Amino acid sequence: MKAIKIVLLIFLFTISVQSKGWMTTLNYNVAIPGQQMKPLVNNPSLLGFSLDARKFVSPQFAIGASLGNQVFYWKSGEHVSLENGFLGGNQYHILNTLPVMLTSQYYFKMPNGFRPYVGLHFGGYYAWQRSEMGIVVMEDRKWHWGMAPEAGVLVPIGGSLINFGTKFSYIGNTNLGDPQKQLFVSFYVGLSFVDVSWR
């Protein structure tokens, strides 16, 4: 609850100090784990958000920063194979990722007011991995470098802009199989507040 309050305060502060050429966006994220993450988590995550602040250096190009949170949770009844047998029982797996990224986006101009864009996020992911089976607990908390290409569109509705998009998050150097191929795909919808002249 405390983390949610902090994020809301940051968001409200960002809006309140917003000046010419800035855009802030709050997104709700749904994510699907990639193939290499499936030994740990095998179902989609409905627990995600992201907060973006972007400064337009030209009418089409923006740079900024993004932070967020995506929580994957999976309960499994599969047996764990050992050299001389196996262990049985419920397994609980959690993967909590908190990206803190620098961003850049390019916006395309459309005659109907829509603004498609492509972008790239680059920075760090704080990843908390936890597996439980009975009294056995394995845990790993580390920062990892990562990147996330994205594509989306801003849709004008009334006096607001609705943000739709998707992002591919690559996390390096994890303990989940091949360290170079950890990824999850996010789909998001959000509300954007912008003070930019696109004429």
Domain CATH code at residue 185: 2.40.160.20
Whether 15 maps to a domain, the answer reads no
Q: Give me 138's structure tokens.
A: 């394995």
Whether 110 maps to a domain, the answer reads yes
State the pLDDT at residue 178. 43
Sign of the torsion formed by the C-alpha atoms of 187, 29, 58 and 122? negative
d(CA 166, CA 119) in angstroms, rounded, equals 10
For 35-135, strand residue ranges (E) read 47-56, 61-76, 80-82, 85-87, 91-107, 115-133
Q: Which amino acid is at 58?
A: S
Whether 2 maps to a domain, the answer reads no
State the pLDDT at residue 73. 85
With helix as H, strand as E and coil as C, how does 160-198 read? EEEEEEEEEEEECCCCCCCCCCEEEEEEEEEEEEECCCC
pLDDT digits (tens, 9 = 90+) for 100-118: 999 999 999 887 889 999 9
Whether 199 maps to a domain, the answer reads no
Whether 44 maps to a domain, the answer reads yes
The mean pLDDT values, 10 residues at a time, for the chain of 199 residues are: 53 54 92 80 90 90 93 72 56 86 94 91 88 74 89 89 94 54 87 74
Would you say 195 and 19 are in contact if contact means Cβ atoms under 8 Å apart? yes
Tell me if residue 18 falls in helix, strand or coil.
coil
C-alpha distance from residue 141 to each of 21, 104, 138 (Å): 37, 28, 11
HSE of 50, CA atoms in CB hemisphere, 13 A: 34
pTM, full prediction: 0.79
Whether 180 maps to a domain, the answer reads yes
Whether 120 maps to a domain, the answer reads yes
Whether 91 maps to a domain, the answer reads no
d(CA 145, CA 131) in angstroms, rounded, equals 22
Total domains in the fold of the chain: 1
Taking the CA atoms of residue 46, residue 70, residue 6 and residue 192 in that order, the dihedral angle to the nearest 10 degrees is -70
Tell me the residue range of the domain where 113 lies: 28-72+97-126+137-194
Q: Give every CB contact of residue 82 below 8 A, 6+ residues apart in sequence.
A: none
